[in-house]
């Protein structure tokens, strides 16, 4: 399947267990997210939130059930098209050895320097634009970034990818409350027409979501608007 996704995601009875694990990390998940919908996924540590997200990006394949994007099974999507259709801010942002420019361009190979600079300003990483700017070396032997700077870099990458589906795994972890609110506002503005899955274990940002899902021990135990829950 080779056209960019519109952004409908559907889990149909999805169960997954990590190799060698004693129990399922997620079990019998059925969940439908419509194009443009903003959905939050809440639940305590280890309940399967990141696993659910990683099943969408095909880091793993379900052992039972199926995931569909725009009613096409994930397995039928061409990998490159899927990658272009989904932007992810993962819990751990990896830097690779290379310039700041290339660390950003991995998300958008054709992005101009101007657009890279603009996104860095938006996420509050102006500090990285001092000499030598986009040529700054990151990774081994390069500039070390603080946890918060890394996170912002991950957010900048996701914004540059500009995909119809945005998956956020605790995107503001480790940022102070004021910055957290700013970054969430920025992300939601960017994602106005996009499908958003927002994993969090806090209550910040929930009122901006259409739907909130509560997870526990690999299953979805409740689903509704944030006021209903
Ligand atoms: P947190 O809020 O701490 O990020 P989470 O809800 O994202 O937690 P997951 O990372 O999805 O939880 O983990 C679900 C379960 O699967 C946990 O029991 C975890 O230990 C296990 N698990 C996660 N990743 C792996 C892996 N790569 N190999 C084996 N087990 C794993
Ligand atoms: Mg997680």
Which atom of ligand 1 is nearest to 54's Cα?
Answer: 11
CB of 23 within 6 A of ligand 1: the answer is no
Residue 68 Cα, ligand 2 centroid: separation in angstroms? 22
Which residue puts its alpha carbon closest to atom 18 of ligand 1?
Answer: 46
Q: Give ipTM to 2 decimals.
A: 0.99
Nearest ligand to the CA atom of 43: 1
CB of 90 within 6 A of ligand 1: the answer is no
Residue 163 Cα, ligand 1 centroid: separation in angstroms? 26
Q: What Cα–Cα distance (Å) separates residue 147 from each residue in 91, 154, 202?
A: 11, 11, 19
CATH class label, 9-224: alpha beta
Report whether 50 contacts 169 (CB < 8 A). yes
Residue 172 Cα, ligand 2 centroid: separation in angstroms? 13
Residue 165: enclosing H or E segment and its boundaries?
Answer: strand 165-169
Query: Before 87, cis peptide (omega within 30)?
Result: no
CB of 49 within 6 A of ligand 1: the answer is yes
Q: How many CB atoms lie within 10 A of CB 108?
A: 19
Q: pLDDT band for 203, please (50, 70, 90 cuts).
A: confident
Q: How many CB atoms lie within 10 A of CB 98?
A: 16
Domain assignments of the chain as residue spans, ordered by start: 9-224
CB of 51 within 6 A of ligand 1: the answer is yes
Q: pLDDT band for 119, please (50, 70, 90 cuts).
A: very high
Alpha helices in the chain (DSSP H): 49-56, 79-85, 100-105, 113-122, 147-161, 177-190
Report whether 221 contacts 213 (CB < 8 A). no
Residue 27 Cα, ligand 1 centroid: separation in angstroms? 13
Interatomic CA distance for residues 118 and 224, integer angstroms: 36
Instruction: Count the helix, strand and coil residues of the chain and give each as a percent rounded to the nearest 5.
Output: 30, 25, 40
Q: Which residues, at least 6 apart from 25, have a Cβ–Cβ distance to it below 8 Å?
A: 16, 17, 18, 48, 51, 218
CB of 201 within 6 A of ligand 1: the answer is yes
Residue 40 Cα, ligand 2 centroid: separation in angstroms? 13
pLDDT at 107 over 90: yes
pLDDT tens digits along 124-166? 999 999 999 999 999 888 888 999 999 999 999 999 999 999 9
**What's the pTM?**
0.96
pLDDT tens digits along 51-97? 999 999 999 999 999 999 999 999 999 999 999 999 999 999 999 99
pLDDT tens digits along 36-63? 999 999 999 999 999 999 999 999 999 9
């Amino acid at each position: 399947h080779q056209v960019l996704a519109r952004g409908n995601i559907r889990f149909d009875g999805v169960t997954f267990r990590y190799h060698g694990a004693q129990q399922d990390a997620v079990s019998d998940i059925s969940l439908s997210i419509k194009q443009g919908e903003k959905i939050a996924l809440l639940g305590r540590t280890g309940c399967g939130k990141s696993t659910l997200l990683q099943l969408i990006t095909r880091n793993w394949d379900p052992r039972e059930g199926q995931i569909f994007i725009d009613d096409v099974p994930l397995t039928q999507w061409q990998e490159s098209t899927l990658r272009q259709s989904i932007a992810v801010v993962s819990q751990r942002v990896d830097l690779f050895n290379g310039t700041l420019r290339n660390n950003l361009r991995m998300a958008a190979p054709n992005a101009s320097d101007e657009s890279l600079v603009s996104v860095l300003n938006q996420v509050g990483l102006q500090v990285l634009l001092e000499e030598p700017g986009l040529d700054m070396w990151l990774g081994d032997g390069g500039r070390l970034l603080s946890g918060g700077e890394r996170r912002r870099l991950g957010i900048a990458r996701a914004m540059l990818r500009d995909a119809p589906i945005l998956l956020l795994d605790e995107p503001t972890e480790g940022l102070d409350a004021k910055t957290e609110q700013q970054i969430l506002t920025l992300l939601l503005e960017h994602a106005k027409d996009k499908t958003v899955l927002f994993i969090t274990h806090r209550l910040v940002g929930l009122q901006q979501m259409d739907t909130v899902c509560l997870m526990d021990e690999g299953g979805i135990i409740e689903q509704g608007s944030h006021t209903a829950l």
